[in-house]
Amino acid sequence: PKEYTEKHDWRRYGAHGTSHKYLSEMGMKYLEGVKEPKIISCHIGSGASISAIKNGKCVATSMGLTPLAGIMMGTRTGDLDPSVMNYLCKCTGKSCEEMYQIFNKESGFLGVSGVSNDSRDVIAAANEGNKDAELALRLFNRRVADFIGQYFVRLGGADLIIFSAGIGENSWEFRENICKTIAPALGIEINYELNKTIRGKEALISTPNSKIKVAIIPTDEEVMIARDTFAFYKK
């Protein structure tokens, strides 16, 4: 109801804006001559969010009032049917606050795998045949791919997909799986051999045939904060 919006001023604030802004500015070098550039930036680390950016302006982002929303993360659920809160409180006798803490701190990779919030441990466990760890990886992959699809539609296409943050910059396995999942619908093609060699550095991993460019760009929130502060000071 509108009353709640007005009285309590709740809204979709999003998060990781500093990172997405940096990434979209850095990504422009791959889009010379493109009119109205459309970028989907994936900041995937312990906290994870995806943004749709048109002409340098963010038009949609996966986090919400708090960073709990959107894709699954190290310990956060990401999006859930809101009824889950009510249902689980009734089933377990836990309070809404206790359940909220579980959604934030005991869910995501940690909750689903039962192994760790660190994606490296989850990959290692899955490689040893741990089914819950495998499920956590599949679920994460599914969520990221679904958001990329959603934002492709939101933007009316896409010119560049960016991978960044701990997982996006370092994990060739996640990048490969996500790209394989979205490739049939979006016509992207990456150089899988090159992808395997990239860790923590910038690279364009799509092939010239790809319908959308795909780049790895290490984020730098500190530089963006400095630039924003300088621009604000100059005003």
CB-side neighbour CA atoms (13 Å) of 48: 30
> Considering only residues 10, 65, 87, 120, which one is a binding residue for ligand AMP as defined by CB under 6 A?
120
133 binds ligand AMP (CB under 6 A): no
178 binds ligand AMP (CB under 6 A): no
Compute how many residues bind ligand AMP; rule: CB under 6 A. 12
Cβ at position 30, least distance to ligand AMP in Å? 22
Of residues 61 and 171, the one with the C-beta less far from ligand AMP: 171
Here the tokens at position 210 are: 């790809």
Here the tokens at position 14 are: 């999003």
67 binds ligand AMP (CB under 6 A): no
Of 142, 141, 133, 129, nearest to 109 by C-alpha is 133
74 binds ligand AMP (CB under 6 A): yes
From CA 27, how far away is CA 39, in angstroms rounded? 8
118 binds ligand AMP (CB under 6 A): yes
From CA 106, how far away is CA 189, in angstroms rounded? 36
171 binds ligand AMP (CB under 6 A): yes
- The most distant pair of C-alpha atoms in the chain lies apart, rounded to whole Å, by 58
Of residues 6 and 128, the one with the C-beta less far from ligand AMP: 128
46 binds ligand AMP (CB under 6 A): yes
> Considering only residues 17, 37, 45, 70, which one is a binding residue for ligand AMP as defined by CB under 6 A?
45
Cα-based distances in Å from 101 to 13, 64, 80, 107, 201: 20, 17, 14, 9, 35
Give the binding site for ligand AMP (CB under 6 A). Answer: 45-47, 74, 118-120, 165-167, 170-171
